[in-house]
Structure 1
Amino acid sequence: MATREISDAQSPDFAHALRSLHESRLRPEVRLTEVPAPSRLAPHAVAMTADIVDASDGEDLATGRFVLLHDPSEPEPWGGAWRVVTFARAELEPEVAGDPMLSAVGWSWLTDALQAHGITPGNLAGTVTRVVSESFADLEEREPDVEMEIRASWTPADSAVGVHLQAWVDMLGTVGGLPPLPAGVTALPGRRR
């Protein structure tokens, strides 16, 4: 991840949060990039995009955005001074298009990843959307395209937010079809672009 200059001058808590994000150990299949953050949602914000890349052919398996907001005034809807806002998207196999449990399974991928990292999120909220595009007429021989989108937000307890990024990236990997790492196994650091 491109590293922004971290300064304690503006907000020591936010500077700690940035360090926590930058020190996160992520799977080698993850390409993480810092992008401009929304400027009107909170006094302090950082945003990153992540792509899960297939090591064999370089194909993007899933993509998403992770935004960390910090407002020391603790907005009432957040229930704290921090808010994580996420988005994840991936194409799925056509045979899952009609599965009535698909949205519930997608949500469980997020909650399971948070739980696996010991996170009890405050004020957790979100949606899972599946989009099925079917072709007709001259295109009717095409398989349906199935996409899943998971949008979620929650309130971390403090500025140690690197673990929240790790959990979200693990969920993004699951959405993209990566097998989970066995318990107790840490991915070796890969080259991040």
Structure 2
Amino acid sequence: MTCVSAHPPEVPERFAAALASLRGRRTRPEVRLVEIPGPTRVAPFSLAVEGEVVAEDEEVATGRFVVLHDPAGQDAWRGDFRVVTLVRTQLEAELAAEDLLGDVAWTWVTENLEAAGVGAVAAGGTVTRVLSSSYGALGATPDAVDLEIRASWTPTDTDLGAHLEVWADLMSTAGGLPPLPDGVTALDVRRRTVGP
């Protein structure tokens, strides 16, 4: 919601705590993040981050992570925060006909939430796949499947850094990166973090 007064509204304590939990959060080195303007019409307070997963100098997945906060809460959210995520990747064309592709992609969402042990309610989303076939001058381009996962959920506390990691892991999974073994943290001196 855009402010009409000359002074922006004071940031609520819960939103400030959520933002603090995101700052400096580390992700695996293949994940690159940048903060972008958040939506202004959906909730009074928001933050958005764009991300990409790069493996062997090739972008293998992209996405967006949005935090919405309405101090008054929203019934559909079942809380005063909502995390809204988007992940896009391209897969081999053979997967386009796979009946379970949507189900498998949705389990990436639920399994990443469960594995992280984060509190989340009212999770929902969509999985979309588009088969692209090229013709004419582009006829030599192989067929490809564009996969898009849209997921949202309501965090049960203000530690949204853990939710950011869930989304980064979801992008990595969709991009085909192998999971890191339990207890292992990937080290890289160029490691990307959110904020200073």
Query: Do they superpose with TM above 0.5?
Result: yes
Tell me how far apart the structure 1 counterparts of residues 43 and 186 of structure 2 sit (CA, whole Å): 33
Runs of 4+ in 1 over 6 A off after TM superposition: none
| Superimposed CA distance per residue, residues 142-181 of structure 1 (whole angstroms, 9 cap, x where no aligned partner) | 3212110000110000111110110111011000010000
Aligned equivalent of 1:46: 47
| Superimposed CA distance per residue, residues 52-96 of structure 1 (whole angstroms, 9 cap, x where no aligned partner) | 011x2x211100000001111111100001100011000111221
Superposition deviation, residue 138 in structure 1 = 5.1
Superposition deviation, residue 191 in structure 1 = 2.9
RMSD: 1.5
Tell me how far apart the structure 2 counterparts of residues 169 and 138 of structure 1 sit (CA, whole Å): 37
Q: Which moved more, 1:167-176 or 1:141-150?
A: 141-150
Aligned equivalent of 1:10: 11
Tell me how far apart the structure 2 counterparts of residues 144 and 120 of structure 1 sit (CA, whole Å): 39
Superposition deviation, residue 139 in structure 1 = 4.1
Superposition map of 1:86-165 within 5 A: 86-137=85-136, 139-165=138-164
Aligned equivalent of 2:5: none
Give the alignment's TM-score, normalised by structure 2: 0.88
Superposition deviation, residue 15 in structure 1 = 1.1
Unpaired stretches in structure 2, ≥5 consecutive residues? 1-9
Identity %: 49
Whichever residue aligns with residue 191 of structure 1, its letter is: R
Q: Partner of 2:66: helix, strand, or coil?
A: strand
Aligned equivalent of 1:5: none
| Superimposed CA distance per residue, residues 7-58 of structure 1 (whole angstroms, 9 cap, x where no aligned partner) | xx5212111111111132211111100000001111110000010011x2x2
Q: Partner of 1:97: helix, strand, or coil?
A: helix
Aligned equivalent of 2:191: 191
Give the alignment's TM-score, normalised by structure 1: 0.89
Tell me how far apart the structure 2 counterparts of residues 83 and 165 of structure 1 sit (CA, whole Å): 12
Q: Do the aligned partners of 2:27 and 2:191 also contact (CA within 8 Å) in 1? A: no
Whichever residue aligns with residue 10 of structure 1, its letter is: V
Aligned equivalent of 2:29: 28
Q: Do the aligned partners of 2:26 and 2:191 also contact (CA within 8 Å) in 1? A: no
| Superimposed CA distance per residue, residues 115-138 of structure 1 (whole angstroms, 9 cap, x where no aligned partner) | 110124211110000010112455
Aligned equivalent of 1:175: 174
When you count strand as a share of all residues, which structure comes out higher?
A: 2
Unpaired stretches in structure 1, ≥5 consecutive residues? 1-8
Q: Do the aligned partners of 2:28 and 2:191 also contact (CA within 8 Å) in 1? A: no
Q: Partner of 1:100: helix, strand, or coil?
A: coil
Tell me how far apart the structure 2 counterparts of residues 142 and 10 of structure 1 sit (CA, whole Å): 50
Tell me how far apart the structure 1 counterparts of residues 69 and 75 of structure 2 sit (CA, whole Å): 13
